[in-house]
Amino acid sequence: MAAIRRNILTDETARKNYLQGVKLLKQEQLGPTTTDLSIPGPAVQVSTYDLFVWWHHVAMDTFTPPAQGDRNAAHRGPVFLPWHRFMLILLELQLQRVLNDPEAGLPYWDWAADGQLSVGDQPDSPIWAEDCMGADGSPITTGPFAFDTNDPSSWRVRVAANVQGQLRATNRGLRRAFGQSVDTLPDQNDVAAALDLSDYDTSPWSTESEPSFRNQVEGWRPLQSAPGLHNRVHVWVGGDMLPSSSPNDPVFYLNHCNEDRIWAAWQQQHPDSPYLPDQTASEELRGHRIDDDLLSLLTNPTTPRQMLNPGDFYTYDTLQVF
């Protein structure tokens, strides 16, 4: 049976499963060390959770094609939504494994609902409560991901990108800084405007594309409200949600699960609007065409086409996104 993804603020079981699952993955150290992954700094064991952080950084650091200089293997182009859908599926499968529950689904954070709150109330949303994600701080000192120098089992950032965008081994607490660069989260009007767009993506297939559902939901357009949607959530949360190592913050997956839910709602609303570009497009779009391999770092290739109908893996409790 496919997992059902539910709202983390309205489903206690989904919330508890997620908190338990990501902490189990963070404690699981069956994989390589930072030295094995060519990450500078002290050699430390990389947890299963940290491997996802590393993978996301590698994707952001891989331009497609290398000389293009804008699109990378997971962002700034058409592949943004299918690549992250695949990442979420793999994390969800890992959560199901450690929880011993094949029906456990990733929860989503409906940040557009929180975006309807006043500027002063948004940092006080229940998402940041002690029994959910905890609040902001440098480091965070509340909630399940609080840092405690005297407790080696407390949540610790082990690999993180520095200001030059280079991944380094580290050992510190998680950081957040709400509303430092943008005042508010995206709201329901922002989501509605993206859903109104009928083209999945358009030339030049980059941050310049307009009209483009992908580009608007990623957050590069429209310029007057940049950063928007997905990008705006990262910027509003701040701290470890800003660099290429943003999956260090478990809020990352709640954000992207909601992004994926918005894409699913768009697919339902525009059933005749295909993923673009197709395979006849220029080789300059390699990595973003419908049958190109996603940067999965796995033996068996996965393509955007395979991510268009994920119903065998999961469904959402609702596609009412605004």
Q: Cβ distance 217 to 223 under 8 Å?
A: no
For residue 67, is pLDDT > 70?
A: no
Averaged pLDDT, 300-322 = 96
> Measured between alpha carbons, how far is residue 274 from residues 78, 89, 200, 211, 271 in Å?
12, 22, 7, 15, 8
For residue 253, is pLDDT > 70?
A: yes
Q: What is the pLDDT of residues 44-56, one digit of tens each?
A: 889 999 999 999 9
For residue 225, is pLDDT > 70?
A: no
Q: pLDDT band at 152, cuts 50/70/90?
A: confident
Averaged pLDDT, 140-165 = 93
β partners of residue 45: 33
d(CA 178, CA 160): 19
Residue identified by tokens 């405007």 is 193
Averaged pLDDT, 239-259 = 98
d(CA 261, CA 185): 17
Which of the two residues, 67 and 177, has the higher pLDDT score?
Answer: 177
Averaged pLDDT, 49-68 = 90
Q: Cβ distance 175 to 137 under 8 Å?
A: yes
Q: pLDDT band at 163, cuts 50/70/90?
A: confident
**Pair of tokens at residue 284:** 């300059």
- Cα angle 170, 163, 67 (rounded to 5 degrees) comes to 115
What long-range pairs does 231-237 form, CB within 8 A, spacing at least 24? 232/182, 232/185, 232/186, 233/111, 233/185, 233/186, 235/181, 235/182, 236/122, 236/178, 236/179, 236/181, 236/182, 236/184, 236/185, 237/136, 237/176, 237/177, 237/178
Identify the pLDDT of residue 95. 98
Q: Which residue stretches of 70-218 are H helix?
A: 80-99, 111-115, 188-195, 213-218
Domain ranges of the chain: 3-148+175-308
Averaged pLDDT, 215-243 = 93
> Measured between alpha carbons, how far is residue 12 from residues 45, 99, 107, 127, 272 in Å?
32, 16, 10, 12, 36
Q: What is the pLDDT of residues 167-207, one digit of tens each?
A: 999 999 999 999 999 999 999 999 999 999 999 999 999 99
Omega before 222 within 30 of 0, i.e. cis: yes
Secondary structure E strands in the chain = 3-5, 157-161, 167-172, 314-316
**Pair of tokens at residue 68:** 């293009």
> Measured between alpha carbons, how far is residue 243 from residues 92, 234, 268 in Å?
23, 9, 32
Q: Cβ distance 37 to 54 under 8 Å?
A: yes
Could you tell me which residues come within 8 angstroms of residue 318 by beta carbon, excluding any fewer than 6 positions away?
A: 7
> What integer best gives the mean pLDDT of the chain?
95
Query: What CATH number is given for 3-148+175-308 in this structure?
Result: 1.10.1280.10
**Pair of tokens at residue 16:** 């508890």
Q: What is the pLDDT of residues 110-135, one digit of tens each?
A: 999 999 999 999 999 999 999 999 99
